[in-house]
Structure 1
Amino acid sequence: MSHTAHIRSHRKPRRSASTIAMRAGVAGGVLSTLAVAGASGSAVAAEPVTQTLELPTLTADLAAQVAQSADVTQQAAASYELQAERDAAAAKAAKQAKADLAEAKKKAAEEKKKAEEAARKAAAERASRNAERATLSASADTGSSEGSGSVSSSSSSSSSSSSSSATGSAAAVIAFVQAQVGDAYVSGGTGPNSWDCSGLVQAAFKQVNIDLPRVSQAQSTAGTQVGLDNLQPGDILYWGGAGSAYHVGVYVGDGMFVGAQNSSTGVVQAPLSYDPPSGAVRVL
């Protein structure tokens, strides 16, 4: 027995049977309540299992998102590929443009070289023509006084007397052809700085409103046939047969003629002995 058992306040009261039974009943009720609550809680806890029906919807959304992401990735890849193709095309175009520019510069240099060469050649030909004209002029003085070839002394005398009397249309024709002496000969040329033989004759007579045919063959029959011993300034000289002439010129008097001879000489004034004509026609 405890040493404090005799003290009244330290004694534990004894519990009655009714109190114990009541407490047991309360405990049992509590346990029953807990059991019911537990069962109810289990039922409530089980309810979310029925919500798994929503999972397929979530799965479909996820699949759509994945598909959309794949489309975006594919579009990005296609865009990159297109950009790469454009870059490659631009690089190729730039390379081709560079090559074209180089080729153009090369051609320009070649053309410039050809032009310079042509200019030098033209200058040399002009110098040659000037020298030849000087020679022809000296020959003309001799030919006028002495005569040669098919031109007789009487015809030279007749020509000398008639040249000083050339007036009107004949004088205009002669002045025109003499003004072209030194110009270049070009086949098919009709002026103003290059001629062929019939182009020069046609242009000369056009100055006096006379329309001649374009070619030598037709010009050789365009007027009245005259003898070479009866020439007058302004007569058309021809080489070859009448109607089949291959060359024409203009008689300017004093036993001289002007004609676009060839590419080497150009337009010259020369004595008839330089290249004796076959015949002549008069249209003035």
Structure 2
Amino acid sequence: MSPNAHITSHRKPRRPATQSWAIRSGVAGGVLSTLAVTGAAQATAAEKPAEATIEMPAINAALSASVAESAAATQQTANDYQVRAQVDKAVDHARVAAKKAKQEADRKAEAERKAAEAKEKREAEQARASRDAQRTTLGTKAGASADSDDEGTGAQGSGTSTTTTSTKSTGATGNAATLISFLRAQVGKAYVMGSTGPSSYDCSGLVMAAYQQIGISLPRVSQDQSTAGTQVSLSNLQPGDIVYWGAAGSAYHVGVYIGGGKFIGAQNPSTGIVERDMSYSPPTGAVRVM
């Protein structure tokens, strides 16, 4: 035994058993608390990946919707291009068909124009041949008359015979006969737009020049000539009446009725000045200025 063992002040007091247990319990509680806190932290840390895993489907759904929308837009664009290509193809076909139709129409119109010109040319040649034959006949008659009379009387008789023949075929007398005689002398001359004679005429220029022979002044153009006198019916025409094509006041062509169902006019550059039956190209109206 230690020499100081009997001294009370040098001995450590003994702790009660209850206090020691309490301390151990406190330590154990602290450890358990620490473990609990640690477990809770670990649980919290473990929950975060779970939350991230839960959010992933939402992100994938949005991405899928975006992809689907993009695919739909791409398909729509492709459809639009296809429709546009079909429309363009249809337009091209229509343009080609229209071009072919126009070319065919132009070809037919040109053929008809040439046929009409050829017909007018044949008729003009026939009319010219007929006039030449008439002149030959009149010359023969005049020569026979000159042989039976003296020279002066024969010349006068020839002139009388010619005048009688030209007026008898038309039934015209006086100013009308003078008018028609002038017109027939112009048959076969050229048609020139804007010309008023004496070697060529257009339609209104010929009519104006003819009426000048009997002292009547007419307007220069067809439109005004179609209203220059009194309107008369086509069934009541007299030699010397102006016939026109188109409406009164806006006529596009004029001629002069010479009787016997015929008219004389400057037709076109192909035929020139011709004498024609009214049935060849019936006029739409007529005016009387004498």
Shorter-chain TM band: 0.3 to 0.5
Q: Specify which structure has the bigger relative contact order, considering alpha-carbon pairs within 8 angstroms and separated by 6 or more residues.
A: 1
